[in-house]
Chain A
């Protein structure tokens, strides 16, 4: 049974997203401002 599941699977390659993408996400998070007014939610991107 073990032999049926131990073959190399290309789909299981371990990868990580690079740091510049993570920095973008952090910047996006810092710039995003959500305001709720009278039951309505507004999103703003502040520079």
Chain B
């Protein structure tokens, strides 16, 4: 019998002042979140820094009472971690050295890669629409798609985690994409900027 307390219950307990609930949440998702971060940054210390910053944001949001995504705790935490990973890469990006000769504009070489406000707004909307589409998928397909796209797991790992063969995992991913495309076509949804 599975007696594991649901994330949403633990979040609610923590928001009511139960610090132990937070410890359970952190320990429960420690390996998954740390591995996800490590798969991107490939450095143990940076992984732990980002993990720590992620949960500091989580703690602040929960204590402020701003959290409203009941039942989707892990995807929300993963998104925070992903944004912090991107910040890390932006911060550490080395700019190319350039010796100006007077008639060359440096800004034609170095651009600001951040999206402008309008593009960012559109991107956020697309991300939100896509999340809703993913939510519509059958549970087995949603699980594979989430592990592959958001957790960056190989199909071998997904197969081991879900207790199916690799070909079944591949098949579920394929059908997940086919189903998403179908819904997009059926409802004339535009997911491009």
Contact = CB atoms under 8 A, between A and B. Distances in A.
B179 interface: no
B60 interface: yes
A5 B172 CA distance: 15
A17 B35 contact: no
B175 interface: no
A46 interface: no
A40 B163 CA distance: 49
B154 A43 contact: no
Contact of B22 (A12, A21, A24, A29): A29
Number of chain A interface residues as a range: 20 to 34
Contacts of A1: 167, 170
**Size category of the binding interface on chain B:** 35 or more
Interface string B36-79: 00111010100110011001100110011100000000000000
A15 B39 CA distance: 9
Nearest to A6: B156
B63 A34 contact: yes
Given A13-B38, A34-B64, A25 B55 contact: yes
B27 A5 contact: no
The 10 closest A-B CB pairs, nearest first, are A11-B39, A5-B155, A34-B63, A17-B51, A15-B38, A16-B31, A17-B34, A29-B59, A15-B34, A14-B35
